[in-house]
A = this chain, B = another copy of it.
Amino acid sequence: MVDLEAAGPVLRAQSIELPSWAFGNSGTRFKVFAQAGVPRDPFEKVADAATVHEFTGAAGKVALHIPWDEVDDYGKLAAYAVDHGIQLGTINANAFQDDDYRLGSVANPDPRVRRKALDHLLQCLEVMNATGSRDLKLWFADGTNYPGQDSISARQDRLAEVLSSVYEQLGDDQRLILEYKLFEPAFYSTDVPDWGTALTHCLALGDRAKVCVDTGHHAPGTNIEFIVASLLRLKKLGSFDFNSRFYADDDLIVGAADPFQLFRILFEVRCGGGFSADSEVAFMLDQCHNIEPKIPGEIRSVMNVQEATAKAMAVDMDALGQAQQAGDVLGANGILMDAFDTDVRPMLAALREERGLKADPMAAYAASGYGERIAAERVGGAQAGWGA
């Protein structure tokens, strides 16, 4: 029998970090469809993120992307966030949008370019100090498109050297989070393509270097929850970038493509202690809303993570352990599925009302008029997107 009450404390404490860039325009190489009301600057992004938190109560932080979210005064931006009920979170570096980075950034064969990339990463550390952020998240677009284009191992050495230079400058309470991705934009070799590579670099760096699991960054057929369990076992899971994929790095709403997989991932988080009070695992979204409106897209995403968490917490661990130990394949699977098949939405609605929120965040947001208001007000200026 599932026990939904057990999920309460975890769900009450759960905070899902939103990416500021989810509120800007995004698309594919074929087309970016502009949407009305999209933020023109980081303050408007923060306001939109705060709106997601207002209706869900579970999205208390917003992550920044540098330089997309560069401002003159980060203290002012942080205060603005607090005024709106949220906090600034992870700082995400960007070393892939300068013409100098055509052949890579930290692994570029040209030492001048590597130095430039390192300087950007060190600048991100300064931003972290200004915002009070704990985590520097590093995803590198580095790699090659053609066999022979560059030395695979020399690129690893260059990467290791830059990572080491950054790690040395981390504050005692700061962390370096290394993200891996199988491919795109590099199409032959990627310099950090898998968790094995990210892990070996983090092991070489030290305790404050952790791995980020982006759920969209794996080869077809990869068992992601196995990786999550493994990283938790090795105490090297730093954070999640949640999103959904049917094919490649589709960046759809988390839980939209395979809600059962999301449940299995969060179940391994539970098993590995990632929901415990002293867990340092960060739960972040990293998505694009190419064709759907962005704020409700994020609200729905937060709800999907909540629902999957509730189901993961509803698994009867005692019964499961007994069935596993007894080798009862169908019984153990059935206990897991019992939790997944349960409709946890009423319980989450009750938790929302308990804290003074509407039971249905999607409907409440739609009724709020916020979307119409920003569409009317945010006229003129340059809409935020991946280029700015």
Contact = CB atoms under 8 A, between A and B. Distances in A.
Contacts of A102: 33, 291, 327
Nearest to A110: B327
Copy tally for this chain in the complex stands at 4
Contact of A31 (B97, B110, B250): B97
A365 to B, nearest CB: 11
A268 interface: yes
A320 interface: yes
A259 interface: yes
A300 B145 CA distance: 15
Contacts of A370: none
Contacts of A154: 324
A256 interface: yes
A340 B307 CA distance: 13
A169 interface: no
Given A146-B256, A220-B219, A334 B300 contact: yes
A136 B222 CA distance: 28
Interface of A: 26-31, 33-34, 96-97, 99, 101-103, 109-110, 141, 145-154, 156-157, 182-185, 187-190, 193-197, 199-200, 203, 218-223, 225-227, 229-230, 232-234, 245-248, 250, 252-253, 256-261, 264, 268, 271-272, 290-293, 296-297, 300, 307, 315, 320-321, 324-327, 329-330, 332-337, 340-343, 345, 362, 386
